[in-house]
Structure 1
Amino acid sequence: MPKPNDIASFPELFEDMEQFLDEQITRLKRAGLLTASVGLPAALVLFYLTQKMTG
């Protein structure tokens, strides 16, 4: 039996793929924003403390 080469051969397997990808992208954006909002202030505090300790 030949293997199909494209997604259109199995549309029922990919019906909700677009919604799934949209949800994953939204979660990644939220995680990136959270990481940046915690990481940037922490980096600034570490930079400030380093400057105070060395000079």
Structure 2
Amino acid sequence: MNKQRDIASFPELFDGMEQFLDEQLLRLKQAGLWSATLAVSGGLVVAWLLERAA
């Protein structure tokens, strides 16, 4: 008995996989953008506070 280990053998299991992956990638990009924005903003605030303290 040959068992196929191919996605094509079980198409019903992977019907929404492409959409799911696209949504996850979009969320990851959004999280990265938020993280970068917060890091830059926080860095600017810290630099400003250090400049004022000096």
**TM-score normalised to the size of structure 2?**
0.76
RMSD: 1.7
Q: What is the CA–CA distance in structure 1 between the aligned matches of 2:9 and 2:21, rounded to whole Å?
A: 20
The alpha carbon displacement at 1:49 in A equals 3.8
How many residues are matched? 54
The TM-score normalised by the length of structure 1 is 0.75
In structure 1, stretches of 5+ residues that fail to align are none
Hey, what does 1:45 align to over in structure 2? 45
Unaligned runs of 5+ in 2: none
What fraction of aligned residue pairs are identical, expressed as a percent? 54
Please name the residue that 1:28 is paired with.
28
